[in-house]
Amino acid sequence: MTDSTKEPGAYDQLYSRRIYPLDAHDLSEEQIAVAFAMTSRRPEAFDEIAEQVSKEKAADFHERWVLGYGHASVAEHAVVHLAVENVSRLAVDTLEDNRLASYTEKSTRYQVMPEDYFYVPEELSQHQALKKEYVAACQSLFQGYRKLIDGCMDYLRETTPRIASERDGAYRMRLSRVATDHCRAVLPAATLTNVGVTANARTLEHAIAKLVSSGLIEEQLLGGAVREQGRLITPTLIKYADRVDYFAGASTIQLDQARRYRFPDEEPAADAVSGASAPEVKLVHWDRKGEEKLAAALLYRHSNLSYDDVWERVIDLGPESRQAIIDESTAGLGAHDAPTREFEVVDYTFEFTLDYGAYREFKRHRMMSYLPQPLTVAHGYKIPPVVVQAGLESEFEQTVRPAEDVYWKVREVSPLAAQYLVTHAHNRRVVTKFNLRESYHLFKMRTSEEAHFSIREPMLEAMRLAVGVQPQFFRNLKLRNYPDWWPHP
């Protein structure tokens, strides 16, 4: 029953708005997660609930509800920050293959990697002679890296004028950044790295399960270490994160299927390219009903018709009206704005052949699906432009080729471990699907002049292909620099 004697003004303060942090200094992540979870059944304020939840009570709650009854979303309120150091880039790729987390990694663009900064796989411990060859191959890649940096620095000093106000240190730093950025291409996937990870306990559990289910020993050990350290923050929520037979079996099944149906899994491709080559980008699928789908999504939101009815009307509207609807919806987009969610209904599928360095930049985009093939030396490599301009192509080749030879030998023992020897210059195929909304973000960010050169070219080509088939969707895409072929005024 409502109290009809209250004055209307009394309602202003009845339930006043309160917004405040539940502080991780006062409460553990698991206590915070319980305080949030309990609001679904308890009337009190969050801070009142939190006061009643001891660490032990939180553990009991999670055991019962999250682990026992599978209410996994509760674990999303417990957040873990993990510092991960001296792990190979190959293993870090697997750790980072989780969309709902955040990462910042030591950059090979801005730092010169120290000598012998590479991982030696345990897979070779029973093969001492091969292990020696592996170590020698990595050492020689790192030595080649240093020499190439020196060579590129000489070239850059000769060809790059100093800016009037630039001091010695700043000038050297500027050139060194360019040299490092281009010469990192010879570093192998075995190169060590540090990465800061912020993830909620649900994502972390998934990440651990993937790592410990991996066929690579380093990834299994990394998964175990992440679990051990993660438990210091969320002792209950990732307690049972463990190997998942399904994950472990999936790649074996796929490999078996590929062989059974005669899809070769590793042969030096006939079209293998070495040296600086044009980016290979194919638009393999795109949505021929995209215009109708997008217009329908835009009109659906604020009508009370069923989707079938909206669709019929959208078809009747004809292309001109549909285009007008799309144009109106993008006209107000600012340079940093993302289009609304309706733009997620249109998809593009691309196949890229990216060098491993570019691939590592590309896969940071978490709103897409990507399916990379294993790292291999079979598709050749790209020589970075400054190395070519400095006339150091043959030095580059002499650095990379011996590692390729050892790659094939290690592959005989362990195809997974052979990937450690693939350099950042080597090409990798990846199929990826992303929607129109993400394409705005991707194209804006990765085709700008500030983007890394290795990713910029393929992204420009992807954008050219997408705009080629559906120019009408990109009329209001705000780019910092438009390419010459841009079809819109």
Ligand X SMILES: Cc1cc2nc3c(=O)[nH]c(=O)nc-3n(C[C@H](O)[C@H](O)[C@H](O)COP(=O)(O)OP(=O)(O)OC[C@H]3O[C@@H](n4cnc5c(N)ncnc54)[C@H](O)[C@@H]3O)c2cc1C
**DSSP alpha helix (H) spans, 160-305:** 168-183, 201-212, 217-230, 245-260, 290-300
3-class SS of residue 283: strand
Contact window for ligand X (CB under 6 A) among 71-79, 99-107, 158-166, 406-414: 99-107
Nearer to ligand X by Cβ, of 364 and 401: the residue is 364
Q: Angle at Cα 87 formed by Cα 84 and Cα 91, nearest 5°?
A: 105
Q: Which is nearer to ligand X, 172 or 365 (CB)?
A: 365
Contact status, residue 33 vs residue 75, Cβ threshold 8 Å = yes
Task: Considering the complex, state which of residue 239 and residue 441 has its C-beta at the smaller distance from ligand X.
Answer: 441
Q: How far is CA 175 from CA 151, 152, 154, 303, in A?
A: 12, 9, 10, 58
Smallest gap from residue 59 Cβ to ligand X (A):
27
**Does residue 102 interact with ligand X by CB under 6 A?**
yes
* Other CB atoms within 10 A of residue 269 CB: 14
Contact positions with ligand X (CB under 6 A) in 168-187: none
3-state secondary structure 99-160: CCCEEEECCCCCCCCCCCCECCCHHHCCCHHHHHHHHHHHHHHHHHHHHHHHHHHHHHHHHC
Any contact of residue 76 with ligand X (CB under 6 A)? no
Shortest distance (Å) from residue 367 CB to ligand X: 4
96 near ligand X, rule: CB under 6 A: yes
Residue 204 exposed, middle or buried by CB count within 10 Å (0-12, 13-18, 19+)? buried
Q: Which stretch binds ligand X (CB under 6 A): 17-25, 81-89, 103-111, 369-377?
A: 103-111
Cβ of residue 171: shortest distance to ligand X, in angstroms? 24
Q: Quickly count: other Cβ atoms within 10 Å of residue 270's Cβ.
A: 5
Q: Which residue has the tokens 């293998």?
A: 272
Is the CB of 104 or the CB of 160 nearer to ligand X? 104
Structure-block tokens of residue 260: 């059974």
Residues 6+ apart with CB under 8 A from 327: 475, 476
Minimum CB distance to ligand X smaller for 102 or for 398: 102
Residue 382's contacts (CB-CB under 8 Å, 6 or more residues apart) are 185, 275, 276, 277, 355, 425, 427, 454
Q: Least separation, in Å, of the C-beta of 92 and ligand X?
A: 8
Out of 217, 367, 413, 431, name the contact with ligand X by CB under 6 A: 367
Q: Residue from 52, 54, 86, 107 that binds ligand X (CB under 6 A)? A: 107
Q: Tell me the backbone φ, ψ of residue 39, rounded to 5 degrees.
A: -60, -20
> 481, 484, 417: which is closest to 218 by C-alpha?
417
Q: 47, 60, 76, 105: which one contacts ligand X (CB under 6 A)? A: 105
Give 433 or 441: the residue with its C-beta nearer to ligand X: 441
Q: How far is the CB of 261 from ligand X (least distance, A)?
A: 33
Among 127, 174, 282, 365, binds ligand X (CB under 6 A): 365
486 part of the interface to ligand X, by CB under 6 A? no
Q: Which is nearer to ligand X, 197 or 416 (CB)?
A: 197
CA atoms within 13 A of residue 228's CA, in its CB half-sphere? 8
Q: Which stretch binds ligand X (CB under 6 A): 51-59, 97-105, 271-279, 391-399?
A: 97-105
Query: SS3 for 408?
Result: helix
- The residues in 427-456 that bind ligand X, with binding defined as CB under 6 A, are 441
Q: Which stretch binds ligand X (CB under 6 A): 128-136, 296-304, 359-367, 387-395?
A: 359-367
Q: Among 173, 168, 237, 167, which Cα is nearest to 199's?
A: 237
Of 40-48, 125-133, 258-266, 362-370, the window that binds ligand X (rule: CB under 6 A) is 362-370
* Residue closer to ligand X, measured from CB, 314 or 463: 463
Residues 6+ apart with CB under 8 A from 208: 223, 226, 227, 230, 238, 241, 242
The stretch among 51-59, 96-104, 113-121, 416-424 that binds ligand X (CB under 6 A) is 96-104
Of residues 365 and 409, the one with the C-beta less far from ligand X: 365
Range 18-21, long-range pairs (CB < 8 A, 24+ positions): 18/45, 20/47
In terms of CB distance, is 322 or 437 closer to ligand X? 437
104 binds ligand X (CB under 6 A): yes
Min CB(405)–ligand X separation in Å: 31
> Which structure tokens are listed for 245?
């037979």
Residues 238-277 that bind ligand X (CB under 6 A): none
**103 binds ligand X, rule: CB under 6 A:** yes
Q: Which is nearer to ligand X, 328 or 337 (CB)?
A: 337
Instruction: Please choose, out of 35-43, 102-110, 274-282, 468-476, the segment that lies near ligand X by the rule CB under 6 A.
Output: 102-110
Joined together, the tokens standing for residue 166 give 């630039």
Q: Is residue 81 at the binding interface for ligand X, with CB under 6 A as the rule?
A: no
Alpha helices in 318-435 (DSSP H): 319-330, 356-362, 385-389, 393-413, 415-418
Binding footprint of ligand X, residue count (CB under 6 A) = 12
Q: According to CB under 6 A, which one of 57, 132, 341, 364 is a site residue for ligand X?
A: 364
Q: Residue 439 Cβ, how far from ligand X at the closest point, in Å?
A: 10
Sole binder of ligand X in the list 162, 313, 366, 452 (CB under 6 A): 366
Question: By the criterion CB under 6 A, which residues form the site for ligand X?
Answer: 96, 100, 102-105, 107, 364-367, 441
